[in-house]
């Protein structure tokens, strides 16, 4: 069965630095990959979507890469701020509308 791995350990970085989060997957060939942000006690909020034929996507301070050979997506937040502290989830889907989520990586941005 498919497996999606995100670093379960929290990522601690200093304000202003670039945060890089990893999403690895096995036994799956997703057509789409999405990244979500989840704050404590709240539902996930969509951030970015990238398709299998796209290498990179950007939105303001966010950048996502998708390497289908390595079966990996990297999520970057440049010029990080304490307000970026949250748990970030990756979600993979085929063309059949079914999403598989990773367990998320908690990001702590320290002032």
Partner 1 sequence: DTAVSQTPKYLVTQMGNDKSIKCEQNLGHDTMYWYKQDSKKFLKIMFSYNNKELIINETVPNRFSPKSPDKAHLNLHINSLELGDSAVYFCASSQDGTGAKNEQFFGPGTRLTVL
* Residues of this chain that bind partner 1 (CB under 8 A): 31-32, 34, 41-46, 49, 87, 89, 91, 93-104
Nearer to partner 1, 17 or 99 (CB): 99
DSSP states of 21-67 = EEEEEES---SEEEEEEE-TTS--EEEEEEETT-SEEEETTEEEEEE
The minimum distance between CB 23 and partner 1, in angstroms, equals 13
Nearer to partner 1, 67 or 99 (CB): 99
Q: In this structure, what DSSP letter does residue 85 have?
A: -
Task: Reduce the DSSP state of residue 82 to 3 states and report it.
Answer: helix
Nearer to partner 1, 69 or 98 (CB): 98
The minimum distance between CB 25 and partner 1, in angstroms, equals 14
The tokens for 13 are: 């970085």
């Amino acid at each position: 069965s498919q497996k999606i791995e995100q670093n379960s350990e929290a990522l601690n970085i200093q304000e202003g630095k670039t945060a890089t989060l990893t999403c690895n997957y096995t036994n799956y060939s997703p057509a789409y990959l999405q990244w979500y942000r989840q704050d404590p006690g709240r539902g996930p909020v969509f951030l970015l979507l990238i398709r299998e034929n796209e290498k990179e996507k950007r939105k303001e301070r966010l950048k996502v890469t998708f390497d289908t050979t390595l079966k990996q997506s990297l999520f970057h937040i440049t010029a990080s701020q304490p307000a970026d502290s949250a748990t970030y989830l990756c979600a993979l889907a085929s063309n059949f509308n079914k999403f598989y989520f990773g367990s998320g990586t908690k990001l702590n941005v320290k002032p």
